[in-house]
A and B are shown apart, each in its own frame.
Chain A
Amino acid sequence: MMPRWLRWAILALVMIFLIGPFFVIAAAALHGGETLAFPPKDLTLKWVWKVFEVESFRASFGLSILLAIGGTALALVLGVPAAYALDRFRPKGSEAIRLMVTAPIIVPGIIVGLALLRYLVIPVDLPMIAALFVAHTALLIPYAVRVVSASLANLRVDIEEAAVLLGCSRIGAFVRVTLPNIKSGIFAAFILGFVTSFNQVPISLFLAGPGVSTLPIDMLWFMEFTYDPSVAALSALLALMSMAVVLVAERLLGFSRYV
């Protein structure tokens, strides 16, 4: 037990350090001048509007959303059966399979992006978008497997066996008994995957070029030659968006249990 004042002091300082910068950036986004400044003067929303007017942001935002939804969906389609098999059948070489499906988390993303560019995109003449899709899906499979495995581990095997004994087919039992019971786990995996893909930078670094870019990569380029508060405005908008997604997910299913 620590003294009350000390507890409050620690929590206040750490929370200011972690959350404070978001308020600073939101304030800087409203600055009326042409450069970044804090505190803001002559409050304006013009930088927020400017963000919506930048053509490339619209395109890269669309691609990021597409990758996040498509990549997570495919990762779940591949990951749910794998998680199910690992949990229920414990096939030969389980350990090796588990290692394989968690490998994408351990290997730094920048290496994956470069490797795909060199040995998949260039030799096979694969379009960049397809490579981005492969890279994001591979990265998300470990999350899908982990979160779904956790839900499966909490589910009793016998209810599924009971369904089979009562005349349900194996697949029928999975779809009608198991799947409904792990759906909040799958939903949590989807949110986690979506956020992970949407915010991902290193893996996309080498797979993005002019015309094909994800939003965070586009932001990095934009920052290099833009010093006005529009980047702050975009950052603030992104922060608000992610926070909204997380808060809704938390309300609906207690998302933080799965992170």
Chain B
Amino acid sequence: MNKLLGPALTLPAVTFIAVGFVLPVLILLSEAVTVNGAFSLSPLIGFFRDPGSVEVFWRTIRLSGLVTLTSAVVGYATALAIVDSSPSARGRLIGTLILPLMVSPVARTYAWVVVLGRTGLVNLVVVGLGLSPEPLRLLFTETAVFIGLVQLLLPLMVLSLVSALENIPADVVPAARVLGAGWFTTFFKVTLPLTREGLVIGGTLVFTGALTAYITPAILGGSKVLMLETLLYQRIRVTNDIAAAGVIAIILVVLSITANVLLKRVAGGRSQ
């Protein structure tokens, strides 16, 4: 009986996702490689021949990479500081990291409009201290998008590094120190290799998060600093160019799946 019951119980969920999700997405992706119903690579070639699109493509990759790198460095320092704290403080700090993750990204991102705007906090300080005669233009720049993305995604990195650090056997680091390794040697030879998995998981979450972010570039970048998702939105809403949308969709899906497959390789490699 179990032979039938197993598939039967998964059938509703699988059917729902197949019809309401996978099928429409596959049709959309096929738009990128068809012209008038016949196979053609011209939409793909067209996208990469258009300098504007290529610029957005590289900006998305560059910003996502930069956000991931920054999150890794800042996240590591934060995770080490959290793991060093007392157990009760640790719980509270982790709670504080989860809290912003649960708040609407629109609200979180809009906060930066207030901080970075012409009459915002940063300009108040800059003009007040006489560092600049007039308010700096901070909104609708890559810097603003970068700051917004780091704030949005940093908690994911810290959380996965904290759990990786907690899994290191308690006496490994003291042992290295007793045997004469300095702080840097211990970190690079012991701690870092033992938490590689957590770093990769956090890195994948942050990278794909930045890659597929819509709200942050939409609010803080506007039409001046487009990323792939905001470009896709524009292509549909302004020119209704479904082929271009299909191409961007393929790029996004391929990049996300690649990142996730790499993640599974690295994360699964050790536990199995």
Contact = CB atoms under 8 A, between A and B. Distances in A.
Interface stretch (A42-50, A155-163, A215-223): A215-223
Given A78-B16, A91-B7, A220-B215, A115 B102 contact: no
A127 to B, nearest CB: 14
A89 B6 contact: yes
Contacts of A89: 2, 5-6, 9
Interface string B1-40: 0110111111011101110111111011000000000000
Interface stretch (B42-50, B61-69, B116-124, B194-202): B116-124
B103 A18 contact: no
Given A35-B119, A38-B115, A235-B111, A111 B13 contact: no
A54 interface: no
A79 B124 contact: no
Interface residues of B, number: 80
B113 A238 contact: no
Contact of A256 (B94, B108, B151, B211): B94
A252 to B, nearest CB: 14
Chief secondary structure at chain A's binding surface: helix
A108 B256 contact: yes
Contact of B212 (A39, A108, A235): A108
A138 B17 contact: yes
B107 A25 contact: yes
Contacts of A246: 98-99, 102
Contacts of A91: 3, 6-7, 10
Interface in A193-208: 195, 198-199, 201-202, 205-206
Given A100-B18, A220-B215, A2 B81 contact: yes
Interface stretch (B51-59, B164-172, B245-253): B245-253
Given A78-B16, A137-B16, A242-B102, A220 B97 contact: no
A232 interface: yes
Contacts of B225: none
A132 to B, nearest CB: 11
Contacts of B100: 18-19, 22
A10 B214 contact: no
Interface residues of A, number: 84
B21 A138 contact: yes
A160 B3 CA distance: 18
B192 to A, nearest CB: 15
Contacts of B113: 36
B77 interface: yes
B144 interface: no
A82 B111 CA distance: 40
Interface string A120-157: 10000000000000110110010001000000000000
Given A21-B151, A256-B94, A112 B14 contact: no
A84 interface: yes
Nearest to B245: A114
A36 B17 contact: no
A78 B25 contact: no
Contact of A108 (B108, B124, B229): B229
Q: In this complex, which of B14, B20, B78, B242 has the most chain A Cβ atoms within 10 angstroms of its Cβ?
A: B20
B219 interface: yes
Nearest to A17: B151
15 contacts: A14-B78, A14-B154, A15-B93, A19-B99, A21-B111, A25-B107, A35-B119, A36-B113, A100-B17, A101-B14, A106-B260, A108-B211, A112-B25, A205-B214, A235-B110
Q: Which 3 A-B pairs have the closest CB atoms?
A: A91-B6, A89-B6, A21-B111
